[in-house]
Structure 1
Amino acid sequence: MAEHLARHGAPALLLIYGLGVSPAVLDAADRSIIVYNSIDAPALRVAEEVSARCDIVLTGAQWQSDEVNRRHPEMPTPILPVGPEFAGTDQFRPLSGEKDYDLIYAAAAQPYKRHDILFDTIERLDGAVSALCVFGYGELAEAFRDEIAARQLPIDCVMPPVVPFAEVNRLMNRARIGIVAGVDDGAPAIITEYMLAGLPVLANAQLTCGLQYLLPGTGEVADPAQWPAAVTRMLQQLDHYRPREIALSRWSWPVSAARFLSIYDDAVAARHALGRTPITLEDCDA
């Protein structure tokens, strides 16, 4: 990456996801506005000397912003996570066709996604509710499939490898409700992706990032013990929800981008105030 920047020049924006970036890349992008996006439950997964060189840290919850500001008191920390925010308006959308599953869980087959909560919910509902698991990737896919079979649960699985976006959208449209069962999870993009496909969302009330997207018109939040009742209630009032309409008005690409550009302008001004002239988006358009 550092060689690429040396050859082609630094970008106006350098976006760092999760685990971070080498000092050589930061050196090569010294005139870029550097943005770190918290994609996991830990707010920062980089060393302090790396995060100190960022101009903006995008977080998924207020507690993450607070954690970042304890390390860097002057750092802008908007709750604007790439994923559930900046949602593409057409990538996920409603389709016509049969709804042959009650629930869908599109999540990696990994422990932190807490598929056990879904399995227990289906079992407690005595098989009256069906579900589809879309794994994409994850080391537990076969173990989950075997557990589903052993417990005789009405759950079908789409096994790895990763499913293309268009197919994920088609699979979402076969279900009535999207679920998010994890706890220690960065604000999952799937929350608003479900909504854009027209599905209300049931989320674990213990989810550490992303509960701000669960509004009266977009879905429900419940502790795992209350999931059977929540699923039953949601299935009885599907017409009550307006997930796509609300997601488009609050978290779609144009809305999130407008919010980000205001924060970006402040970061550019802060660089100028320090005598560190950055490359700007206007420079790229020139």
Structure 2
Amino acid sequence: MLAFVHAFGAPHILVVYGLGVSEALLAACANSIILYNSIDAPTLRVPPGVSARFDLVLTGAQWQSDEVEARHPGMRTAIMPVGPEFAAIDQFRPLGGPKDYDLIYVAAAQAYKRHDILLDALDRLPRDVRALCVFGYGEDAGDLRRRIAERSLSVDCIGPPGVPFEEVNRLMNRARFGVVCGRDDGAPAIITEYMLAGLPVLANAELACGRQFILPETGRLATSEAFAEAIMAMRADAAGFTPRAAVLARWAWPHTILRLRPLLDAIAARKNIAC
């Protein structure tokens, strides 16, 4: 990537996600607007020498913005997680049709996604509660399938590997609601993707980032201890939520870009570059 920048020039805007960017690359893009999207619960997953070069850090919660300020006093932040706030409006959408699953969990088959909370809850519920787990990737898929079989849970699993976005949308439309079980997780994009597909969301009340998207009209928060009862409540009244309308009114990317643009303009003016 550094060779590409040397050959073709730096981009107007460089967005860094999570890990894996070098200080040398950021130095080569000194005249770019450099954004960092904190996609996981650790706020800054890069060394201070790297993060010092960021112009704006997009966070998922106030505590993350506070951690950025503690490391780099005066650095600009905005609670504007790219995943939920910039979800594609038409990529995930209601399709109508039958709902043959009660819930769906679209998440990597990795420990931090806390599938154990879902499986423990389902183990306490009647076996007619049906769930679908969709794994894009992750090393725990085999173990999760084994645990599901050992408990005789009514859970079907798809992947890894992942399936195309259109298929994810179709699978989401087969469920009444979506779940997010993680705790030490950034604001997962799937929160508003579920909602754009018409599904309300049941999320872990201890989710580190993204709880602001769970409103009375979009879903519920529940502790791990109360997850089973919350699943039954969602099963009973999922049709009464209006999640897609709430996202379109508040967080869809046309709204978010209006909030982001003034921040970009201010950075461009400070660095004396075009934007």
> Which TM bucket (shorter chain)?
over 0.9
Q: Deviations over 1:119-142 (max 9, x none)?
A: 111111121311000011111101
Map of 1:202 onto structure 2: 202
SS of 2:69's partner is helix
Does 2:115 align with 1:78?
A: no
C-alpha contact 1:20 1:45 (8 A) present in aligned 2: no
Query: How is 1:166-205 mapped onto 2 (pairs within 5 angstroms)?
Result: 166-205=166-205
Query: How is 1:73-112 mapped onto 2 (pairs within 5 angstroms)?
Result: 73-112=73-112
Aligned length: 275
Runs of 4+ with >6 A deviation: none
When structure 1 is superposed on structure 2, of 75-84 and 122-131 the one drifting more is 122-131
C-alpha contact 1:218 1:243 (8 A) present in aligned 2: yes
Amino acid at match of 1:58: L
Amino acid at match of 2:6: A
Q: Deviations over 1:46-81 (max 9, x none)?
A: 111111111100001110000000011111110001
SS of 2:76's partner is coil
When structure 1 is superposed on structure 2, of 3-12 and 192-201 the one drifting more is 3-12
Map of 1:262 onto structure 2: 262
Amino acid at match of 1:123: D
C-alpha contact 2:23 2:49 (8 A) present in aligned 1: no
Structure 1 vs Structure 2 CA RMSD:
1.0
What is the alpha-carbon distance in structure 2 between the residues aligned to residue 23 and residue 72 of structure 1? 16
C-alpha contact 2:99 2:175 (8 A) present in aligned 1: yes
What is the alpha-carbon distance in structure 1 between the residues aligned to residue 248 and residue 120 of structure 2? 33
Map of 2:19 onto structure 1: 19
What is the alpha-carbon distance in structure 2 between the residues aligned to residue 44 and residue 248 of structure 1? 30
Query: How is 1:1-286 mapped onto 2 (pairs within 5 angstroms)?
Result: 1-271=1-271, 277-278=272-273, 280-281=274-275
C-alpha contact 2:176 2:239 (8 A) present in aligned 1: no
When structure 1 is superposed on structure 2, of 237-246 and 168-177 the one drifting more is 237-246
Unmatched tracts of structure 2, length 5 or more: none
Unmatched tracts of structure 1, length 5 or more: 272-276, 282-286
Deviation at 1:232, TM superposition (A): 1.5
Identity of aligned residues (%): 60
